[in-house]
Amino acid sequence: MESYAQETIRVLPDSVSFVAALLVEFPEFAGAAFDPRTGTVRLTLLVGRRLPARGRLKFVRRLEDSIAVLHELQGGPPPRAEVRWQTGPNFTRFELVRSVEDLTVEEVRVVAQLARETFGTDLLAGEANFEEGREEELRYALEHARHLRPTRPVVGLREGGRVLVYYARRPRERMP
């Protein structure tokens, strides 16, 4: 009987693979979007209650400080990070907008862990399933995302235990 060597087939990641890998590896995020034209990623956290202004500001400060300290420990300057939020009657949504140029998997992990520690069961997150090699694939996809030529923006959402990723519509140019 002949034996065949196992060959690892690596699919060249694109923007869809990058967003899907983010959401699969980090179930804390309710959604993610990547725009290769601007080189930015938007990570969305969803909390199942309305947070008071003081709680929102406290979380944003902790998030910004944690990211700055991580980059300082890694020997780099603090990155530009924009944190937005929106509240409704029974939810709070946070969005972290970052350039992929200096984004690291460790930074994304810090954001996810901080959200889980801060909001606990109020964080509307998917279920974590550990799978060997997924982090390496995410690192590979992130590195490749830094060099993508401008293509259509991609949006990913978590819905009922599944990750859905699709191309966003291009904004129409306005007529003068």
**pLDDT tens-digit readout, 7-45:** 443 444 578 888 998 998 999 999 999 998 889 999 999
Count CB atoms within 10 A of the CB of residue 56: 18
pTM for the full predicted model: 0.82
Q: pLDDT tens for residues 68-78? A: 999 889 888 87
Structure tokens at 103: 């984004």
Rounded Cα distance, 122 and 100, in Å: 28
Structure tokens at 29: 């995020």
Rounded Cα distance, 130 and 15, in Å: 23
Domains and CATH numbers, the chain: 15-167 (3.30.70.1710)
